[in-house]
Amino acid sequence: MKKLKVAIIGCGLIAQERHIPAFNKIENVDLIAACDINENLAREVASKYKIPKVYSNTSEMFKNEDLDLVDICVPPQIHAAVGIEAMNNSCHIIMEKPMALNVSDCDQMIESAAKNNVEICVIHNKNFHKPFIKAKKLVKEGHIGEFVGMRIFLSTPHWDMIDLEDHWYHKLPGGVIGETGPHMAYMSSEFIKNINEVEVLAENHLKHPWAPNDDFRIELKGDNAISSVILAYTPNYWICDIDIIGTDAMLRLDLNGMILTKHSLKELKYGPFVKYYLGNILQVAGGMLKNVLGDKKIGTDLVIEEFVDSIFNNGKAPVTGEEGREAVRIMQMVVEEYNKKYKL
Ligand SMILES: NC(=O)c1ccc[n+]([C@@H]2O[C@H](COP(=O)([O-])OP(=O)(O)OC[C@H]3O[C@@H](n4cnc5c(N)ncnc54)[C@H](O)[C@@H]3O)[C@@H](O)[C@H]2O)c1
Q: Is the pLDDT of residue 155 over 80?
A: yes
Residue 315, SS3 per DSSP: coil
Which atom number of ligand 1 is nearest to the Cα of residue 79?
41
Q: Is the pLDDT of residue 22 over 90?
A: yes
Chain segment 26-65, per-residue pLDDT in tens: 999 999 999 999 999 999 999 999 999 999 999 999 999 9
Residues with CB under 6 A from ligand 1: 9-15, 35-38, 41, 58, 73-76, 78, 96-97, 123, 125, 179
Which atom number of ligand 1 is nearest to the Cα of residue 74?
24
Which atom number of ligand 1 is nearest to the Cα of residue 95?
41
Tell me which residue of 76, 71, 105, 255 sits closest to 179, measured CA to CA. Answer: 76
The preferred substitution site among 74, 132, 238 for testing ligand 1, maximizing ligand atoms within 8 Å of CB, is 74
Map out the domains of the chain with their CATH numbers. Answer: 4-125+298-320 (3.40.50.720), 127-261+330-341 (3.30.360.10)
Chain segment 206-219, per-residue pLDDT in tens: 999 999 999 999 99
Which atom number of ligand 1 is nearest to the Cα of residue 35?
33
Tell me which residue of 91, 3, 29, 5 sits closest to 301, measured CA to CA. Answer: 29
pLDDT at 275: 87
- Going by alpha carbons, the residue nearest to atom 33 of ligand 1 is 36
Chain segment 168-201, per-residue pLDDT in tens: 999 999 999 999 999 999 999 999 999 999 999 9
pLDDT at 225: 97
CA dihedral 95, 258, 190, 222 (to 10 degrees): -120
145 alpha carbon – ligand 1 mean position (Å): 40
Which atom number of ligand 1 is nearest to the Cα of residue 168?
19
Tell me which residue of 332, 316, 344 sits closest to 100, measured CA to CA. Answer: 332
181 alpha carbon – ligand 1 mean position (Å): 16
pLDDT at 268: 74
Residue range 143-147: average pLDDT? Answer: 97
pLDDT at 24: 96
- Going by alpha carbons, the residue nearest to atom 34 of ligand 1 is 36
Q: DSSP letters along 169-229, please?
A: GGGSTTTTHHHHHHHHHHHHHHHS-S--EEEEEEE-SS--TT-S-SEEEEEEE-SS-EEEE
Residues 6+ apart with CB under 8 A from 35: 7, 8, 9, 10, 11, 42, 54, 55, 56, 57, 58, 61
Question: What percentage of the chain exceeds 70 in pLDDT?
Answer: 100
98 alpha carbon – ligand 1 mean position (Å): 11
Chain segment 62-120, per-residue pLDDT in tens: 999 999 999 999 999 999 999 999 999 999 999 999 999 999 999 999 999 999 999 99
The preferred substitution site among 8, 17, 35, 37 for testing ligand 1, maximizing ligand atoms within 8 Å of CB, is 37
